[in-house]
C-alpha cells in the first residue's frame, strides 16, 4: 500500500513515513486533552464526537490529492481515534471493578490487538482489489457503525455527581498526583514498556520475517493474524487467574513470560530461524496478553473518580514507549532481528524491575476500595 501511495503523491519513502509518525504524535497528545474533559463533562459526547472526527479524518485521507492533505487527514483521524481508545478503558472502569474489570479490559485489549493483527491481510486484499483509498473508506464506515452501536446500546456511564473540574490547574494537579502515586505509575509504566515492545514487533516484523526468514506478503499477513489468537487466548485467562491468585502475581507472571520470550530472541541473535523466532514471539505475546489487562486494571482500579485522566496518562505512556522502541530499532547499528531482541529484553526486564515493588507491597494496591485482589 505504501508504494502505491508513494506513486500517487510523488513522495519519497521517508516523506511517506510521516503519515504514521503524525498519527502517533496526534494520538499521544490528544489523549491528554480528552481524558480530563471527559471526566468533567461525561463520556458520551467525546466518544461520539471522537468517532465523528475519525470519520471526517478518514474521508480526508481517502480523498487526499497530495501528501500534505493526507498528513492533515491522518492527524484529524488520530485525534478522533484517541478519544475512543482512552474512553474505552475509562468506561470499563466506570462500569466494573474487581475481576469483572479485568475481564472487561481483557476484551478491550483483545480488540485493540486484533486491529494490527488483521489489518495487514485486510489492507493488502483491499488494496489489490479496490485500491489503497478504499482502506480509509472502510475505517470511516467502521467508525460510523461503532458510533451508532454506542448510541443505541451504551450511552453515558459517568454520573454527573462524579464529574471533576476541568480547570487547567486542577488537571495539572491530577496528572502530577497520578505520576507520583506508586499505585498508578508502577503498573502503568510496566505495562507501557511491554506494549512498547509489542509495537516494536509490528514495526520490525516485516523486515525480519520477509528479508531474513523469507516470508511472503501472504505469509506475513497470516502470521500477524495468528498473533491475535495468542493474545486472545492469553487475555481470556486473566480474570480466572486473578481470582485464583492475586492480580499483581498474575501481572508479574505475564512480564516474566514476556521476558523469557525476549531472552530467547536474544539468544538467536541477528540470524534467527523460522521456528525458534516464531516460538519466542509467541511466548512474548502470551505474556503480554496476561500482563496488559491485569496491570491496566491495577493502575485504574483505585482511581475511579478520575478514570478518564488516568486512562489518558496510561495511553500516553504506552504511545511514548512505543515511539521509543520503534526509534531504537531504526537507529541501533545492528540488524533488525538483533535490535528487536534487545528492545524486548530491555523493555521487559525494566518492566519487571518497576513492577516488582508492587508485587512485594501488594497491600498498597489491595487496600484501596474496590481492590481487584
The model carries a pTM of 0.80
In sequence order, which residues have a C-beta less than 8 Å from that of residue 204 and are 6 or more positions away?
326, 329, 336, 337, 339, 340
Domains delineated in the chain: 2-153+167-363 (1.20.1250.20)
pLDDT computed for residue 114 by the predictor: 66
| CA dihedral of 141, 142, 148, 150, whole degrees rounded to 10 | -160
Rg (CA), the chain: 20
pLDDT computed for residue 213 by the predictor: 79
Cβ atoms within 10 A of the Cβ of 54, count?
26
- Averaged pLDDT, groups of 10, the chain, 373 residues long: 51 58 83 89 90 94 87 91 87 81 77 67 72 86 90 81 82 91 92 90 78 76 76 77 79 93 88 85 90 88 84 90 82 83 93 85 46 42
pLDDT computed for residue 67 by the predictor: 82
pLDDT computed for residue 363 by the predictor: 47
DSSP state of 160: G
Amino acid at each position: 500500500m505504501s508504494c502505491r501511495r508513494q506513486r500517487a503523491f510523488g513522495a519519497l519513502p521517508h516523506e511517506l513515513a510521516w503519515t504514521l509518525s503524525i498519527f502517533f504524535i496526534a494520538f499521544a497528545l490528544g489523549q491528554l486533552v480528552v481524558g480530563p474533559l471527559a471526566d468533567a463533562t461525561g463520556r458520551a459526547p467525546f466518544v461520539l464526537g471522537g468517532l465523528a472526527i475519525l470519520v471526517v479524518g478518514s474521508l480526508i485521507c481517502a480523498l487526499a490529492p497530495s501528501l500534505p492533505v493526507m498528513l492533515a487527514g491522518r492527524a484529524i483521524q488520530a485525534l478522533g481515534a484517541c478519544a475512543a481508545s482512552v474512553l474505552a478503558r475509562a468506561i470499563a472502569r466506570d462500569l466494573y471493578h474487581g475481576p469483572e474489570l479485568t475481564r472487561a479490559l481483557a476484551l478491550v485489549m483483545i480488540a485493540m490487538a486484533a486491529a494490527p493483527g488483521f489489518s495487514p491481510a485486510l489492507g493488502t486484499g483491499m488494496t489489490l482489489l479496490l485500491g489503497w483509498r478504499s482502506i480509509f473508506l472502510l475505517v470511516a464506515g467502521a467508525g460510523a457503525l461503532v458510533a451508532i452501536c454506542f448510541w443505541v446500546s451504551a450511552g453515558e456511564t459517568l454520573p454527573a455527581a462524579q464529574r471533576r473540574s476541568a480547570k487547567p490547574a486542577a488537571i495539572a494537579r491530577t496528572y502530577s498526583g497520578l505520576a507520583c502515586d506508586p499505585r498508578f505509575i508502577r503498573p502503568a509504566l510496566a505495562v507501557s514498556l511491554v506494549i512498547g515492545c509489542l509495537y516494536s514487533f509490528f514495526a520490525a516484523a516485516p523486515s525480519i520475517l520477509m528479508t531474513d526468514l523469507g516470508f511472503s506478503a501472504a505469509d506475513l499477513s497470516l502470521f500477524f493474524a495468528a498473533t491475535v489468537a495468542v493474545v486472545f487466548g492469553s487475555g481470556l485467562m486473566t480474570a480466572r487467574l486473578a481470582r485464583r491468585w492475586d492480580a499483581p502475581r498474575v501481572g508479574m507472571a505475564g512480564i516474566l513470560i514476556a521476558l523469557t520470550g525476549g531472552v530467547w530472541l536474544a539468544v538467536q541473535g541477528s540470524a534467527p530461524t523460522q521456528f525458534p523466532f516464531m516460538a519466542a514471539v509467541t511466548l512474548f505475546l502470551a505474556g503480554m496478553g496476561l500482563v496488559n489487562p491485569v496491570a491496566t486494571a491495577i493502575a485504574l482500579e483505585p482511581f475511579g473518580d478520575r478514570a478518564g485522566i488516568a486512562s489518558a496518562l496510561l495511553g500516553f505512556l504506552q504511545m511514548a514507549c512505543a515511539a521509543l522502541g520503534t526509534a531504537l530499532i531504526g537507529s541501533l547499528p545492528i540488524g533488525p532481528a538483533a535490535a528487536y531482541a534487545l528492545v524486548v529484553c530491555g523493555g521487559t526486564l525494566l518492566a519487571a524491575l518497576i513492577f516488582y515493588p508492587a508485587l512485594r507491597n501488594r497491600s498498597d494496591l489491595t487496600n484501596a476500595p474496590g481492590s481487584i485482589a
